[in-house]
Amino acid sequence: MLALLSGYWATQCLYVLAELGVADRLVSGAKGAVALADESGCDSDTLSRLLRASVSAGFVDETAPDTFASTPLLDTLRSDVSGSLRSVARFGGHPAIWNAWAGLLGAVTHGTPAFTSVHGIGLFEMLERDADLASTFHRVQQLNARIDAGLLDALDLARFPRIVDIGGGSGGLAAQIADAVAGVLVTVVDRRGAVAGVIRDERVGAVAADVFEGVPAALAGADAYLLKHVLHDWSDSKAIELLRICRDALAPSGRVFVIESVLPDSGRPGPAAMHDINMLVLTGGRERTVSQFRALIEAAGLALVREIAAHGPVSALELGSRAAAR
């Protein structure tokens, strides 16, 4: 219990190590605290204290007095490795996110998003204002865009030549689909700052738009609309609104795919339960059970065509119009 209660110490140490790029600076081998401090613009004494604390946590090794080397654990924060977690450490420890978690008690007490209560604006509004935080956020989303190949196969997207990825960020999922499905055109719709990072070609496009104002006219009638880790950002009423917008834009035989970390109906413990609290803190959204998704789908005037079992951390629900689903 004591280790859990002091867990935030380690989180903030990792945040500082990630911000200073210590993992990158140790790629060439062990370095003294003074040299690392000079490279990163830090006070050598306090950096040395941080590194010694990091030794006790297993983040670095002390190979000689006041000389430190990386460990396999710290290497996960290197910028040059595939799947680097540096952006996760920088985002989670960022003062805007960190301080929002201090509002969890108020969120639980009053049922309001902690981020908005603490900062006076929502997360997505802050991302529009803070380019550095937005850049880090999009790097985290690129990690989240990786979808288990088995789930991607199970979606059977080859049926749909025109796909719209609603809230698709910088296009990681769109690119993955384009690589996996021959002849498909995937268009990402998201905020201007998000789609600026989309690598466009003949298979992947991007449109800057507020999806709550409706699917852009040029993208109406697409064969499939994807909502991956989008509905969990929003309250039930806003999630229903998004589903209705997709319903209204959908081709007669088209499909909507909802891809989320689904909570088990039984209440069994799992990672989605902690993600649920993260959504309460950051956006006021929530993770949901299949039963809760069914209620949203019904309210939006759509029909659940099939449930696609979890592959890794995510599951998918395939939706269609009520007429087409019969």
Distance in angstroms (rounded) separating the CA atoms of residues 168 and 33: 41
Distance in angstroms (rounded) separating the CA atoms of residues 24 and 74: 9
Distance in angstroms (rounded) separating the CA atoms of residues 234 and 125: 14
- β-pairing, 314-321 vs 302-311, is antiparallel
Q: For 82, left (φ over 0), alpha (ψ -120 to 50), or beta?
A: beta
Largest CA distance in the chain: 73
Q: What is the dihedral of CA 180, 167, 311, 278, to 10 degrees?
A: 150
Task: Answer for the pair 296, 129: CB distance below 8 angstroms, yes or no.
Answer: no
b/e sequence 23-33, b meaning 16+ C-beta within 10 Å:
bbbbeeeebbb
b/e sequence 210-243, b meaning 16+ C-beta within 10 Å:
ebeeebbeebeebbbbbbbbbbbbbeeeebbebb
Point out the catalytic residue in the list 94, 138, 229, 232.
Answer: 232
Q: What is the radius of gyration, based on Cα positions, of the chain?
A: 22
Task: Answer for the pair 59, 89: CB distance below 8 angstroms, yes or no.
Answer: no
Annotation says 110 is catalytic: no
Can you say how many angstroms the Cα of residue 134 is from the centroid of all Cα atoms in its chain? 12
DSSP 104-168: HHHHHHH-S-HHHHHHSS-HHHHHHH-HHHHHHHHHHHHHHT---HHHHHHHTGGG-SEEEEET-
Please identify every residue annotated as catalytic.
Answer: 232
